[in-house]
C-alpha cells in the first residue's frame, strides 16, 4: 500500500530503498491460513499500531475481537486488514515520500529496529520487535506525562493478547542507543521519535527527555 521497498544493511534495518507505487493491491485472505501462529501474531503488531497511532475506536474494536484474530477467523481478519490498509493509504496519500506525517507509521519502529539489529535479523520477527518497541514508546509517553498509566496498560494488554512480547532480551544500553542513532528519522543529527499523546493520537517529536527514554528502554527488557 505504501509503495516503499527496502533492504537491510549492517548499519541498520531498511537503510537502502526506493519508492514505487503499485498499480493494484490484492489481499488474499486465504493466504493467512498458511501462516504459523507466530507469523500471524507478528502481522497483528502492525494492525495494533494503526489503532494506537490514529484510531481509538479501532483499538476498542481490537480489544473486542482479538481472540478471533489470533484464532485466524477470516471475516474478522478481513476487517482488520481493510481498516489498517485504509489508515495507511490515507497517510501515504498525504505524504508519499515521508517528509512529515508518514513518519507516524514508524510508531514502535525506532526501538524495534534497534532490537532487530542487535539480535540479528531473523532472531525476532519484525512484528515482535515492533510490538516491544510500541511498549517502549508508550512507556516513555507515560513517563513524560502524555498518556495515563491506564493507556500504557491497555497498550501492553492488547499486545500480550496478540501473543506478542512486551519485553526484549537484555541489550546493553550503549548498543541500543547506537542503533537508534542510525534511524532514518534522525534529522540533522537529532533523533526524532513517534510517541503517543493519547490512545489513537501519535506525534513525531524531537522534544523528549533522553533520561526518561533510557529508563523506558531498560524497564522493558528481561530482568536478570
Q: Give domain 4-219's CATH superfamily.
A: Dehydroquinate synthase-like - alpha domain (1.20.1090.10)
Q: Which three cell numbers stand for residue 10?
A: 549492517
pLDDT of residue 142: 98
Is 24 exposed, middle or buried, given 0-12, 13-18 or 19+ CB atoms closer than 10 A? Answer: exposed
pTM beyond 0.75: yes
pLDDT of residue 1: 73
With a CB cutoff of 8 Å and minimum separation 6, the contacts of 12 are: 113, 117, 179, 182, 183, 184
* Three-state secondary-structure class, residue 55: coil
With a CB cutoff of 8 Å and minimum separation 6, the contacts of 39 are: 125
pLDDT of residue 44: 98
Q: pLDDT means per 10 residues in the chain (224 residues)?
A: 75 75 85 94 97 96 98 95 91 68 88 94 92 98 97 98 98 95 74 94 93 98 86
Residue whose cell numbers read 542513532: 181
* pLDDT per position as a tens digit, 120-147: 888 899 999 999 999 999 999 999 999 9
Amino acid at each position: 500500500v505504501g509503495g516503499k521497498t527496502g533492504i537491510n544493511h549492517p548499519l541498520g534495518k531498511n537503510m537502502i530503498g526506493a519508492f514505487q507505487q503499485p498499480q493494484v493491491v490484492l489481499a488474499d485472505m486465504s493466504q493467512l491460513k498458511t501462516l504459523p501462529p507466530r507469523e500471524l501474531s507478528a502481522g497483528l503488531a502492525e494492525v495494533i499500531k494503526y489503532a494506537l497511532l490514529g484510531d481509538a475506536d479501532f483499538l476498542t474494536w481490537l480489544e473486542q475481537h482479538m481472540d478471533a484474530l489470533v484464532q485466524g477467523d477470516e471475516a474478522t481478519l478481513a476487517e482488520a486488514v481493510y481498516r489498517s490498509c485504509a489508515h495507511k493509504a490515507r497517510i501515504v496519500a498525504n505524504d508519499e515520500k515521508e517528509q512529515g506525517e508518514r513518519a507516524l507509521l514508524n510508531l514502535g519502529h525506532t526501538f524495534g529496529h534497534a532490537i532487530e539489529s542487535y539480535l540479528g535479523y531473523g532472531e525476532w520477527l519484525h512484528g515482535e520487535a515492533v510490538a516491544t518497541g510500541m511498549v517502549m514508546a508508550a512507556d516513555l509517553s507515560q513517563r513524560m506525562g502524555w498518556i495515563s498509566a491506564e493507556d500504557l496498560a491497555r497498550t501492553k494488554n492488547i499486545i500480550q493478547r496478540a501473543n506478542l512480547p512486551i519485553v526484549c532480551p537484555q541489550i546493553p544500553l550503549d548498543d541500543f542507543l547506537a542503533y537508534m542513532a542510525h534511524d532514518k528519522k534522525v534529522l540533522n543529527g537529532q533523533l526524532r521519535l513517534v510517541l503517543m499523546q493519547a490512545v489513537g493520537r501519535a506525534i513525531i517529536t524531537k522534544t523528549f527527555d533522553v533520561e526518561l527514554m533510557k529508563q523506558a528502554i531498560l524497564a522493558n527488557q528481561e530482568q536478570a
